[in-house]
Amino acid sequence: MSRSISLVTGASSGIGTETARALAAAGHDVLVGYGGNEKSARDLAAELAQTHGVRAEPVAFDLGDPEAAVARLRSAARDAGGLDVLVNNAGVNRRAHAVDEDLASWSRVLTVNLTSPFALAQAAARLMVEQGRGGRIINVTSVHEHIPITGGSAYCVSKGGLGMLTRVMAVELAPHGITVNAVAPGETATPMNGVPPGHPVTAIARPNIPVGRPGAPDEVAVLIRHLASPEARYTTGTSVVVDGGLSLVAAEANAAHAGRL
């Protein structure tokens, strides 16, 4: 039986790196998508090949240019022999109050976090339909797909849009055996959030998160691996929150402020 072929964008660090590792451990050949960190992507591809005996290739993506990103996906999939799993993980973070946001920054966030993931998902879905063997599309959104944060106008909109795209595509692609799901992490200890690789999450106190700490990248990756597996074939159109309970406690903070706790 041939291996599944998976593409993970933003795989040179954080959640993307751990997702690539989790998929390779499950026997997937992995296309290691990266933006500017070519060395980390090449090192990871070599690690996956040596550790798990899979094919792993670094693939550069410019998500600021959706058409170029699609062309890169098509060529990488062609060289790899197809595509079975797309993990839209890469993205950018930004904070600016809505009254202060500028259109150039707004457009950049929406392009990288929403338009390019849509274009890649569309291209991947077309390939999967043509192949006729089903497939998996997994969009990494954010807890802020579901709940707002001050200064998050562009970021929250981009992640909320990606969450709705997930549900629309799930309905449209189900007849082809393609599932589409979202994973919505809360605060995760990644370089994008200022935490170096390998730093123990238990050393970072977060009293307002019920579990008391941020998440580790591999705690998100194991869920992505499940959604990419044959066992998840009946799960589609979901957005699974992985946030240590963060999104549950807004009323708790209000009650504490009012003196009721």
Establish how many alpha carbons lie within 13 A of residue 185's alpha carbon, considering only the half-sphere containing its beta carbon.
24
8: nearest Cα among 214, 177, 220, 199: 220
* Residue 66 neighbours by CB distance under 10 Å: 20
Q: Is 34 a catalytic residue?
A: no
Q: Record the tokens describing residue 209, joined without a space.
A: 């998160």
The region that residue 134 occupies, defined by phi over 0 for left and psi between -120 and 50 for alpha, beta otherwise, is left
- Specify the long-range contacts of residues 159-166, CB closer than 8 Å, at least 24 apart: 159/113, 159/184, 161/110, 161/114, 162/88, 162/113, 162/114, 162/117, 162/118, 163/139, 163/239, 165/114, 165/117, 165/118, 165/121, 165/139, 166/137, 166/139, 166/141, 166/237, 166/239
What contacts 148, CB < 8 A, 6 or more positions away?
Answer: 156
The answer to whether 120 and 41 are in contact (CB under 8 A) is no
Helix (H, G, I), strand (E, B) or coil at 181: strand
Catalytic, out of 106, 152, 155, 182: 155
* CA dist., res. 192 & res. 194, Å (int): 6
Active site residues: 155
